[in-house]
Amino acid sequence: MEIRLLGTVSALDGSGTELLPAGPRLRGLLARLALDAGHPVDAGTLVDALWGPAPPSTANALQSLVSRLRRSLGADRVRSVPGGYRLDVGTGAVDALRFAALRRDAGAEPDRARARDLLERALGLWSGPALADLREVPFAGPAAARLAEARAAVAEELARRTIDDGVPGPGAVSGVLSDVLTEQPLRESSAVALARVLHATGHRADALAVLDRTRSALAEELGVDPGPELRAARTELLHDAPSGNGPGAGRAPAARAGTAVTNGGTAVAADGTAVADGGTAVPGAGTAVPGAGTAAHSAETAMTRAGTVVTRAEPAVTPRHRAPALTSFVGRDDDLARLRSLLPSARLITVTGPGGAGKTRVVSEVVRDLDRPVEVAELAPLAGAEQLAATVLHAVGGPDLALGDRTGPDTLTRLRSTLARRELLLVLDNCEHLIDSVAGLVDDLLGTVPGLTVLATSREPLGVPGELLHPLGALDDAQAARLFTDRAAAVAPGFTADPATVTEICRRLDGQPLPIELAAARARTLSAREIADRLADRFRLLVSGSRTALPRHQTLRAVVDWSWDLLGGPERVLAGRFGVFAGPVEANAVEVVCGAGDLDGDPLGLLDSLVEKSLVVATQDPDGGPTRYRMLETIREYAAARLAESGESGPVVRAHADWLLAVLEPGEPVLRTRSQLDRLAVLRRVEGEAFRALDRAVTDPRPAHAHRLLAAVSWSWVIRGENIALLHWSDLVARLDPPEGEPAATTNRAIRALLLAGYVAVEGAPAEIDAVEAALPGLPHPRHPAVVLAGPAARAFSSGDRSELGALVTGDEAPWLRGAAALLAAVHAENEGDIDEQRAYLRVAHPLFRAVGDRYGLGLAVASLGELEDLAGNGEAACAAWTESIALTAELGNLDDLPHFRMQLAGLAARRGDESAAREQLELTERHLREHPRQRTMSWIDWGRADVERRLGRPARARTLLDESWTVSGPEAGRLQRVTLQHLFAAAAELDLGRIDAAREFLDTAADTALESNDGPVLGMAAEGSARWAVAVGDPERAGELLGIAIARRGTLHLGDPDVIATRDAVVAALGRGGADTAIARGRVAARDVAPRPLRSHDVRSAAGTG
């Protein structure tokens, strides 16, 4: 079978018979699969490719199309694979893939004749514009443009080789170049290549016509001048007229003996004297004097055999680097300031950065208004170094050598001569693809031309002595957002977007200007949110660059392709493997993960090279720690895709997981010691890697890696308050059957059981405990503390018997384990309302944790002691305890507990009437949440903020805040407690506002959810809230009973709460001390059997046996 894409799309069997029926979408499906022949293409990619932003109305449209293609090609040719389809043909069956292979082979072929033959064969595969009959199919336009770009590049390369090798006749390449220019009339490099082929074969007039047509098209369509390569080629052709074939053809004879006539009709005497138009002759000097006495840089220059130059001045045109910019320039003030400060004293400055960082634009802004001579040589169009010196010579206004002239001085000598008497800033733009040649030229010129300063842009340094580097970093968030909104508004007038979404887009695009501009261009058809959501497939999304930009700047993939193609083979291998990392890593990680296997070269040397070439960013530690290396997200995704294409993903991913386990597992016990902060610092540095490795181990199941990775990081997440993330990952990992006897699997079950033990409404803890205890006999010692604690803790919360925990506290276990058992026993006692036992256990846990240096356990113990002091009405002691807890929590970086402790301080201050202190804690909490947004925590804090407002006398404001933050969503763990508190805070505000019925509705719901939660402190709060309502409606007996329920469920009334004190005093005032005591006693007896609802339902008296 043969599949043709380089023309109209067709599929031919062995006899040349067309297999496909008519229909652009069916042919489009074949073409899209053929471009990745032998590799899977996911269904989403195919739908986007064939239907674009308007997906088909029927869900099985793609499947139906695939069925039609199978009927045409044969069912075995189109295979179903997980998530998509694969065209099962060899790459040799697809002309576009054969074309690419021939191009690669030509580039690697040392024999020049053989290389030309390969290029000619590649071009011979084309029968017209690629995908010519599919232009209405969404993917075809960009795909055809990429193929056309490749065809043009091959034709230009063949033209260059044909001329360089002195091959007679133009061959087929002139026809191909003509076709290219028909499709792309503004393509200067193809125009120059065609002109040089025509010139070399004696068709000088035709060659000039090609260049003039291109120059006119640029002026008419874009209003710009041609680039330096076309201008240089035209100058060469104007003053050189070969006869015969081949690059060495001679000039036309002089008009008469001893006299040459230039293109403009200027006479040049045999002694070398030139007479400029309207100017003065300088005998024998070999120089020309323009009529006005001043030469414009746009003048055309001619040189006779004798070396005499004639300049015909044309009307002056503002050089492009002096012209006003077409778009706004955003940010980079510090970059501009530094570059301008360096220029007066530096000889060579190189602005470096990855593709799309804005190097050219920054330099343009620097030189636009400089009060000194500036010339710009644009090197991007140059395919090779052969024309480098000539291009620079032309840029600085010097005379050019005629094509093939072997008798005049060499170009470099003339360039030195042109620059010798000038004070000049020379800008060399886009040096990276000619880096060695540019470095040699710059080194030579700086050494021989004292008045020269060079300002270069490159993706890597030139490496010339005396070079000053100015790396361009990312735009900051504000600058990047302004650039995005600026460019989006330009293509979509009235464009608006949520600032957070814009910031998300810019951060995910690494703050790099070109990708941000490409994303903004999509604002024509997509909202900012849609752009952000599609960035997971950024290389398909960001394809809408300026038509006048360099081809490598028109799409995001082209930007990265250009850098990638400049790498050597070993550099590409290392870069692809580096894509396995999620974020910054140290050099030893690169050595271990990327240096394995058949890497040809030293990993560190190759890493340095990638840093030099702006594909990897190296960040120095200001405190002297190890340097860390990372790829920008865009480059990392590209590298990961290349790694997958290479077939190395499996081994590299396994090496990444093994390296990470070697870092994580040995230090896990340190998390429960005085050195835990140092260990947490190590874990934070590799946290991104842990998430990435876990995701891979779960998605592409590797159970052993998944269980070991989770066990290695779990406790660090516990002590940093990442319990919800931990539950999420443990759910995923628990679905993978571990290897027989894997201790990590038991550890994971034990930690999960401990997390779930306090959440009655969450299923799963008993099953986890059964699995843990079944595995105990086979576990090696020492066992993880969670494995020892899980069973006793779970049984305490399920049966109410905490004797096993008590035995651990008083036994001979390690101090940390005894402290943890005491803390768990205290939590259970609190839930049961056994406040005295709670206090006793906390007083055991507190010194044990302090002795071992575990800030997490100590912080929890201190915070709980603070709550007991608050319940007892000892505000100062509570404040001191919570202040200490905040300090300990901040050291750990626990982002979940820290705002809770601050809100406890805010609530305490509000209850004591200290508005200033309450506001201070609120502001600190809000700042924390702005920097570290966490939805679950933010909900708790919103409700606490509302309660503070109510306590400070603003119940209406409190009610508004509650309405704005109302939610019952979130993680299942703790849901009942959250719902209860929401309703209690709302009921309290309604009571303050005098809305009794509304308060009762909230309290009824709170009572039900509190009872379902079986959480003693929460039940106590619900009972206190209902008691306050009963007082408000004149039912002091019911209020007293509810206060008794509160005491029974929590062990005490909240004596630090003015509302509770006022309720108790109202009951005593109405019933007297004896009556109040009787009602309270009745409630305490009945507490376990009734809900703490506001209204009496005849339940308390019957439950208490007094009815």
- The amino acid sitting at 1054 is H
- The amino acid sitting at 1065 is D
pLDDT band at 780 (very low <50, low <70, confident <90, very high): confident
Is the pLDDT score of 243 beyond 60? no
Cα angle 469, 472, 477; round to 5: 155
Helix 996-1013 / helix 1016-1032 crossing angle, nearest 10 deg: 160
- The amino acid sitting at 669 is P
User: CA–CA separation, 1107 vs 1097, rounded Å?
Assistant: 12
- Give the containing element (helix H, strand E) for 503: helix 499-508
State which of 53-57, 255-259, 644-648 shows the largest mean pLDDT: 644-648
Contact assessment for residue 7 and residue 128, using Cβ atoms and an 8 Å cutoff = yes
pLDDT at 518: 86
First to last CA, the chain: 93
Query: What pLDDT digit, counting tens, does each position of 448-485 carry?
Result: 999 999 999 998 899 999 999 999 888 888 888 989 98
pLDDT band at 649 (very low <50, low <70, confident <90, very high): confident
pLDDT at 253: 32
Q: 93-107, 1024-1038, 1053-1067 — which is least confidently predicted?
A: 93-107
Query: What 3-state class would DSSP assign to 259?
Result: strand
User: CA–CA separation, 1002 vs 980, rounded Å?
Assistant: 9
- Per-residue CA distances from 450 to 371, 407, 416, 419, 457 (Å): 19, 28, 10, 9, 21
Which of the two residues, 566 and 784, has the higher pLDDT score? 784
The position carrying tokens 């810019």 is 506
The H-assigned helical ranges of 550-671 are 556-565, 569-578, 587-594, 603-612, 633-646, 649-664
pLDDT band at 292 (very low <50, low <70, confident <90, very high): very low
Bridge partners, 375 (sequence order)? 426
Query: What pLDDT digit, counting tens, does each position of 114-170 carry?
Result: 988 899 999 999 988 999 888 888 888 888 888 988 899 899 888 888 888 887 766
- The predicted model gives 881-899 an average pLDDT of 91
Phi, psi of 458, deg, nearest 5: -165, 155
Bridge partners, 10 (sequence order)? 4
pLDDT band at 57 (very low <50, low <70, confident <90, very high): low
Which of the two residues, 318 and 6, has the higher pLDDT score? 6
- The predicted model gives 310-334 an average pLDDT of 58
Query: What pLDDT digit, counting tens, does each position of 946-1005 carry?
Result: 999 999 999 999 998 888 777 544 445 567 888 898 899 999 999 999 999 999 999 999
Contact assessment for residue 817 and residue 788, using Cβ atoms and an 8 Å cutoff = yes
Q: 24-38, 75-89, 596-610, 932-946 — which is least confidently predicted?
A: 932-946
Looking at domain 331-471, its CATH class is alpha beta
Which of the two residues, 647 and 408, has the higher pLDDT score? 647
- The predicted model gives 836-840 an average pLDDT of 96
- The predicted model gives 412-441 an average pLDDT of 89
- The predicted model gives 752-770 an average pLDDT of 64
Query: What pLDDT digit, counting tens, does each position of 908-946 carry?
Result: 999 999 999 999 998 898 888 777 776 556 666 777 889
pLDDT at 937: 60
Is the pLDDT score of 838 beyond 90? yes
pLDDT at 969: 46
- Give the containing element (helix H, strand E) for 85: strand 84-87
Helix 513-521 / helix 477-491 crossing angle, nearest 10 deg: 30
pLDDT at 94: 93
State which of 25-29, 480-484, 836-840, 898-902 shows the largest mean pLDDT: 836-840
pLDDT at 1026: 95
Per-domain residue ranges of the chain: 331-471, 477-563, 800-877, 985-1107
Query: What 3-state class would DSSP assign to 467?
Result: coil
The reported pTM is 0.64
**What count of other Cβ atoms lies within 10 Å of the Cβ of residue 557?**
20
pLDDT at 766: 66
- The predicted model gives 54-66 an average pLDDT of 75
Query: What 3-state class would DSSP assign to 451?
Result: coil
pLDDT at 1081: 94
pLDDT band at 408 (very low <50, low <70, confident <90, very high): very low
- The predicted model gives 332-355 an average pLDDT of 90
pLDDT at 939: 64
Per the prediction, the chain carries an average pLDDT of 82
Which of the two residues, 447 and 266, has the higher pLDDT score? 447
pLDDT at 170: 60
Bridge partners, 377 (sequence order)? 428
